[in-house]
Chain A
Amino acid sequence: MCLAIPGQILEVVDESNRLAKVDVAGVQRNVNIGLLDDDGDGVGPGDWVLIHVGFAMSKVDEAEALETRRMLESMGEDYEQELEELKASIIE
């Protein structure tokens, strides 16, 4: 549960609840981006974020995101498990 996994924001789907659709290694799910609202202009489509339990926790640049993903992929089972749990998530 403690992993923070990188994803790219595709679109904001619920402005008032600050939900955005993200792509995490091909899995597209909604996450909350409200915790990053104070971070300058917040985050929006195209931005990369680290996601933890359905919330974007940090904005990162693309190189950092891809490198983090590469490291997580090398972890194998634990990352697979996290992706499976993300796939089962329906945040609305």
Chain B
Amino acid sequence: MAAKEILELAPLDLFWAYGALLLAAALAWFCRIGQARDLLWGSLRMVLQLLAVGYALRWIFAASHPLPTLLMLLVMCGFALQIMVGRLRHKLPGFYRIVSLSLFAGCGGVTLYFCLLVVVPSPWYEPRYLIPLAGMIIGNSINGACLAVERLVAEMTERKAEIETALCLGASPRSACQEPLRKAFRAALLPTINTMAAMGVVFLPGMMTGQILSGTDPLIAVKYQIAIMCAIVGSVALTSAVLLLQAYRAYFTDAHQLRY
């Protein structure tokens, strides 16, 4: 890279950075909001997780072999699933099958598309590109997917009378819950749309900031940001759509009866 070398953070620098966090913890303790402990515990987890990932990535980059890269992607997907379990447990019947399939189709599909047409790393598994791209795509997609499911569950419960009325009028389950599906899809896309609208003017997105900090020309960073944002929107939409189109079925029997 043509730009200047990035400033290295010494352990002492990090210690001072941690000071800001301790300030927050002190404030939380002082105001008795009961979150000081959570805050410290959360920060400890963050440090450990990031350090682990840092070492793992260094090893994967050095190995430069498709296997560790794919393994890393698999681990990321596992954690994504884990996070979704935490948010959606007991809510969606047939959870694992539906969610893994939609994550695979949405995130996998868009990541593949992206690597074949947009960024085209060489070799194809180049972890320096593949892992952060997939990470951002998966991270945003699980958020959208969770919102979609939460909304669907709420709508399906609330609109029972409407759905049964439609069934009685000869509607298929799919058209009977068209409104819940629409609402859920909208809920999934909304945060991403808002983020796009605020991008650049309100906040500088993390990836772009990172690239700029590491000395990349801001215009290159911006181009990457635009591309990744498009990938995120596509993946959120695809993941949520595949998820919703399976999830609503879990509410009906083969005889088009609403399960309670």
A and B interact: no
